[in-house]
Amino acid sequence: MPDQPVRPDPVQPADAEALALAQSLMTLGHAALAWTDPDTGTPGISRISFARDPEAGLLTLVSGLAPHFRALRDRPDCALMLGEVGAKGDPLTHPRLMIRARAAFVAPGDPARPAIRARWLDRSPKATVYIDLPDFAFVRLTPVSALLNGGFARAHHIDPADL
């Protein structure tokens, strides 16, 4: 078979506009999370609450009843997508940020937890109903790589350090 022609990487480095868009998507408060089912090795998906904590970085708060609780504990590699589809136009033209990450549970006795909890409640006062239930846990999501897709032919690599 002949070699395939070399195509230029369709994904561009981030510019200031792309970085600003990525940062704004991180304020959404929720994300789609892709994880691996530890029993079957196949993909699962969930909606998660999400925040960028100024000290602890990317975070979610997970119920022990959620299927991704055990998945993230046993198979910490995961991927998030942030971005909403607006009412108009092709859904693929609306911007979204995809982040590959590794999950790490915040232990109940972690000295950072009280401040993480207080800041979470500042942003999401309604979480007071469940935040202290014994099977809920904060999970740090340390970014490994990120891709911003701003619409057709508008894809940018984002440095995880910029998230």
Query: Under rule CB under 8 A, which residues in 61-120 are in contact with its own copies?
Result: 65, 67, 77-81, 83-85, 89-92, 94, 96, 98, 100
Q: How many CA atoms lie within 13 A of 142 on its CB side?
A: 7
Which is closer to its own copies, CB of 24 or CB of 47?
47
Cβ pair 136, 62 in contact under 8 A: yes
Q: ∠ at Cα 61 (78, 41), nearest 5°?
A: 30
| Shortest distance, position 57 Cβ to its own copies, whole Å | 19
The site for its own copies (CB under 8 A) is made up of 10, 29-30, 32-36, 40, 42-47, 49, 65, 67, 77-81, 83-85, 89-92, 94, 96, 98, 100, 124, 126-127, 130, 147, 149, 152
